[in-house]
Chain A
Amino acid sequence: MSVLSQTAGVLRKDLLLDWRSRGRALSVFAFAVTTLLLFSFASGADVADPGPMVGAWLWLALLFASVLALAESFRVETEDGGLEQLRLLPVDPRALFFGKAIANALLLLALGLLIFPLCLGLFRAHVEGSWPALVGTVALGAAGLAGPGTVYAAMTAQARGKDVMLPLLLFPLVVPVLVAAVKATTLCLGRDAMNQLPSWLGLLAIFDVVYWSLCPVLFGRVLEE
């Protein structure tokens, strides 16, 4: 079996697992919505122009929720000895990485696309720029969080103090994703008079390419006993 078909197998398994335990995905969604509400409570009910803050709040909510989603994706593996079974399979570790990371990225993309309209409604914002660019931003940002996040989640799920370790490792690493995704989202919401959007999307793409090429190579060493 090629890496590609192995990846498809792992991806199918992970998506099926997500689908069969929809309650987990639902709790991650509820967590993201609660975070959004908390941001608006914390910044006061009468922010005159919440427009510039919408991108920041959306991405912070997604970032916090991503920690839960990533940790969950490996909790199910470690709980019933699933990880040992995965190790025993004659599967390329790169396929394991791609399968799990794509599943995580898709979950985060779906989460982003679900909470974004909610964000617009809650903060009375609207999209003046292009919708496809916005979806592209969420997709690239979700991939940026999921790539290194999958490797870190695989490690922290097997370490002591796992709840603290994942954000401690992931948050500083994804600073470029946060900066670029917030900027790109804000540009999509308003008018991009200086045509800055391509550079921010480019930065997101560079981050994704670097980590989606580096992480599969390293993933094998993370899984081994």
Chain B
Amino acid sequence: MLPRFVRAHGLGILGLGLLVTGSILGLVYAPAERYMGEVGRILYIHVPTAWNALLVLTFAFAFAVASLTTRKPRYDDLLVGAIEVGIVLSAMLLIQGSIWARPTWGVYWTWDPRLTTSAVMLVSFVGVLGLRSAVDDAGRRASWTAVATIIAWADVPIVYFSIKWWRTLHQNFSSPQTVASTMVLPLRINAFALLLLSLWLILRRARLSAHQRARAGMDTPPPEPSTLVAGDA
């Protein structure tokens, strides 16, 4: 039996360790990118952030479907964790993208499909959290969060293609075949690092929700015994 601390935080510790390793490899050992130079090193965190943002929001979609079909509060706890972590990753993605775009494209912001899709994704899911905070009944809150998550998730590819057709400037997709192996390793390590950190945060957040739920259940006072008797006015 693992110690309680390791069970609760093992994923986080492992993720953090991998993130440090991957970042040292990317910042120190990998060669500078041929065209972008040292600026290109931000990609060792930017690309894994992008992968994980999409992955975590896809987890949110899966939890939403599970929550709607099984009605188990456990999936709602996981869903809110995934949405919140997805929002943080999308926000990180936008900030890193702007930092990278300034020296590379000369601007902080451009209407590039991936940048714009991330921004739309971010505000869509912030809206879902907003809706969640506006509903008091727990069952209804779970259903509506799941419905809004499914609707918002289905929009991501359509937004991407609409903006891509609207205007395109981003570089083409890279594949491991077009990237030097010294560059692939830190990318992969950081991708797993962020995945583990995301999973850790989702599980911690779900645990917090479960505690809140249990506490709300305990706090609800039992109904007052009626002192009225039949015939009272």
> A154 to B148, alpha carbons, bound, how many Å?
12
> A211 to B158, alpha carbons, bound, how many Å?
11
| Most central of B130, B136, B158 by chain A CB within 10 Å | B158
Instruction: Please judge, given known A-B contacts A151-B151, A203-B165, whether A172 and B134 are in contact too, CB under 8 Å.
Output: no
Contact A183 B151 (CB under 8 A): no
Contact B143 A222 (CB under 8 A): yes
Contact A179 B162 (CB under 8 A): yes
A91 part of interface (Cβ distance < 8 Å): no
Q: Is the interface on chain B under 10, 10 to 19, 20 to 34, or 35 or more residues?
A: 20 to 34
Q: Which residue of chain B has the shortest Cβ distance to A183 in the bound complex?
A: B166
Contact B130 A218 (CB under 8 A): no
Cβ 8 A contact of B150, one of A176, A206, A218:
A218
Instruction: Please judge, given known A-B contacts A172-B124, A207-B158, whether A160 and B135 are in contact too, CB under 8 Å.
Output: yes
For window 56-91 of B, CB contacts with A under 8 Å fall at 68
Contact A222 B147 (CB under 8 A): yes
Contact A173 B152 (CB under 8 A): yes
B154 part of interface (Cβ distance < 8 Å): yes
> A37 to B135, alpha carbons, bound, how many Å?
36
A187 to chain B, nearest CB (A): 13
A49 part of interface (Cβ distance < 8 Å): no
Cβ 8 A contact of A203, one of B68, B154, B162:
B162
Cβ 8 A contact of A214, one of B131, B135, B154:
B154
B120 to chain A, nearest CB (A): 5
Contact A210 B148 (CB under 8 A): no
A195 to chain B, nearest CB (A): 14
Q: Which residue of chain A has the shortest Cβ distance to B155 in the bound complex?
A: A173
How many residues from A make CB contacts under 8 Å with B? 36
Q: Which residue of chain B has the shortest Cβ distance to A221 in the bound complex?
A: B143
A136 to chain B, nearest CB (A): 18
Q: Which residues of B contact A180 (CB under 8 A)?
A: 162
Contact A155 B148 (CB under 8 A): yes
Contact A172 B127 (CB under 8 A): yes
Cβ 8 A contact of A161, one of B134, B150, B158:
B134
Q: Which residue of chain B has the shortest Cβ distance to A196 in the bound complex?
A: B165
Q: Which residues of B contact A179 (CB under 8 A)?
A: 162-163, 166
Chain A residues with a Cβ under 8 A of chain B: 148, 151-152, 155-156, 158-162, 164-165, 168-169, 171-173, 175-176, 179-180, 183, 199-200, 203, 206-207, 210-211, 214-215, 218, 221-222, 224-225
Q: A172-B124, A176-B161, A222-B144 are in contact. List 20 more A-B contacts (CB 8 A).
A: A151-B147, A151-B151, A155-B144, A155-B148, A159-B131, A160-B134, A161-B134, A164-B130, A165-B134, A169-B128, A173-B151, A173-B152, A179-B166, A180-B162, A199-B165, A200-B165, A207-B158, A218-B147, A218-B150, A224-B143
